[in-house]
């Protein structure tokens, strides 16, 4: 089968992805094989290709926002049948026995498996997944628009939970790419006031089109103190900016898997009065199921830009250089 692999991590314009021929994967016990219809392009794929996230094995196939249909099942796999449409997300497995898994915090598992990092992902004709970690997709979500929900949406939803904004409160969103434009819609439907602070005219235009309460530059002061905020941009320099924008007791949730260095914080200006800074690590399967149900009920629409699978290099480079708003999706 055809697949893209991360051969030698490096700057995206140097072409760290290489097209390769690989043997078609066979599903093992409890696994299903998914014939890939499309796969979203996530910023984590970019971090992997450029080496911010060192590949965990040579020649790994990126991609963890996979939509497709089951075309083979392994021994003991009974949850899905051949022909079922499923989504393959970032979280591909946990040990199920560590203290975190036992206490309902499988996102903190000490031995997790991540799609497109530990195991081959969806920049390919097919991939395999542990059936317990795949999602049945609501019929209301078509393939292309469902793909970004499987990481950008799910992780963004967990970040929204972590930001802990009270009912009717104010949410700040720093950075406005694939994840942020999804979660802004959820927050608005939940009755929150949403203030977007981001660079790039295209991103600001998209935020305004979605009906957020205010739009400004990433360094601007929002029009009201924020009860909670989410940092989607991988820019550590925005951490003190966002902390200063918080109301007393507010929480800043950092949603990325990678972040540039955070400058020294001034305690009295940025953390005093019980302001909180926390990270967001992966998600639980319950987060994903809850979010996908909400996305279907709220009519969340992703802004997508379609690329053929053969143009994965271009899609990743366009993401790196901010050439589109929303999310890129690769199609087979």
User: Are the beta carbons of 31 and 77 closer than 8 angstroms?
Assistant: yes
Angle at 229 between CA 215 and CA 138, to 5 degrees: 85
- Place 45 in a pLDDT band, splitting at 50, 70 and 90: very high
Predicted confidence (pLDDT) at residue 223 exceeds the cutoff of 90: yes
Pick the CATH number of 2-151+282-331 from 3.90.320.10, 3.40.50.11260, 3.40.109.10, 3.90.180.10: 3.90.180.10
Residue for token pair 């898997």: 257
Q: Is 103 exposed, middle or buried (0-12, 13-18, 19+ CB in 10 A)?
A: exposed
Q: Model confidence over 272-291: pLDDT tens digits?
A: 999 999 999 999 999 999 99
What's the pLDDT at 171?
A: 98
Average pLDDT, the chain: 96
Which residues fall within 8 angstroms of residue 140, CB to CB, at 6 or more apart? Answer: 296, 299
**pTM for this entry:** 0.93
Name the percent of the chain lying above pLDDT 90.
93
- CATH fold of 153-279 reads Rossmann fold (3.40.50)
Over residues 219-241, mean pLDDT: 97
How many CA within 13 A on the CB side of residue 157?
23
Determine the pLDDT at residue 57. Answer: 87
Alpha helices, DSSP H, located in the chain: 43-50, 99-102, 143-146, 152-163, 178-189, 201-209, 238-245, 285-298, 312-320
Question: How many other C-beta atoms are found inside a 10 Å radius of the C-beta of residue 74?
Answer: 16
Alpha-carbon gap, residue 176 to 163, rounded angstroms? 16
pLDDT tens-digit readout, 247-265: 999 999 999 899 999 999 9
Query: 299 falls in which pLDDT band (50, 70, 90)?
Result: very high
pLDDT at residue 78 in the model: 97
Interval 160-206: pLDDT, tens: 999 999 999 999 999 998 899 999 999 999 999 999 999 888 899 99
Question: What are the tens digits of pLDDT across the range 118-168?
Answer: 999 999 999 999 999 999 998 888 999 999 999 999 999 999 999 999 999
What CA–CA distance (Å, rounded) separates 109 from 93?
Answer: 9
Q: Phi-psi region for residue 32, left (φ > 0), alpha (ψ -120 to 50) or beta?
A: beta
Residues, the chain, total?
A: 332
User: Beta-strand (E) ranges in 7-65?
Assistant: 17-21, 31-41
Delimit the domains of the chain by residue range: 2-151+282-331, 153-279
């Amino acid at each position: 089968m055809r697949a893209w692999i991360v051969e030698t991590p490096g700057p995206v314009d140097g072409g760290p992805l290489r097209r390769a021929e690989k043997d078609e994967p066979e599903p093992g016990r409890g696994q299903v094989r998914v014939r890939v219809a499309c796969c979203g392009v996530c910023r984590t794929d970019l971090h992997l290709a450029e080496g911010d996230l060192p590949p965990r094995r040579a020649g790994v196939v990126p991609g963890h926002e996979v939509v497709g249909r089951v075309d083979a099942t392994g021994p003991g796999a009974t949850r899905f049948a051949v022909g079922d449409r499923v989504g393959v997300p970032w979280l591909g497995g946990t040990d199920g026995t560590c203290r975190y898994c036992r206490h309902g915090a499988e996102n903190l598992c000490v031995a997790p498996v991540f799609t497109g990092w530990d195991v081959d992902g969806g920049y390919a004709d097919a991939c395999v997944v542990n059936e317990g970690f795949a999602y049945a997709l609501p019929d209301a979500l078509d393939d292309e628009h469902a793909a970004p929900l499987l990481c950008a949406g799910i992780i963004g939803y967990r970040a929204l939970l972590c930001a802990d904004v009270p009912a009717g409160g104010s949410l700040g969103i720093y950075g406005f790419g694939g994840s942020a434009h999804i979660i802004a819609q959820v927050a608005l439907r939940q009755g929150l006031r949403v203030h977007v602070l981001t660079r790039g005219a295209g991103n600001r235009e998209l935020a305004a089109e979605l009906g957020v309460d205010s739009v400004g530059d990433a360094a601007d002061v929002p029009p009201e103190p924020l009860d909670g905020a989410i940092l989607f941009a991988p820019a550590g320099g925005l951490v003190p900016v966002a902390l200063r924008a918080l109301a007393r007791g507010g929480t800043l949730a950092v949603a990325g898997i990678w972040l540039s260095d955070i400058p020294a914080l001034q305690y009295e200006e940025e953390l005093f009065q019980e302001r909180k800074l926390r990270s967001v690590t992966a998600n639980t399967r319950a987060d994903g199921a809850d979010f996908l149900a909400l996305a279907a009920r709220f009519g969340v629409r992703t802004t997508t830009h379609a690329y053929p699978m053969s143009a994965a290099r271009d899609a990743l480079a366009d993401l790196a250089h901010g050439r589109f708003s929303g999310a890129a999706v690769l199609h087979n």
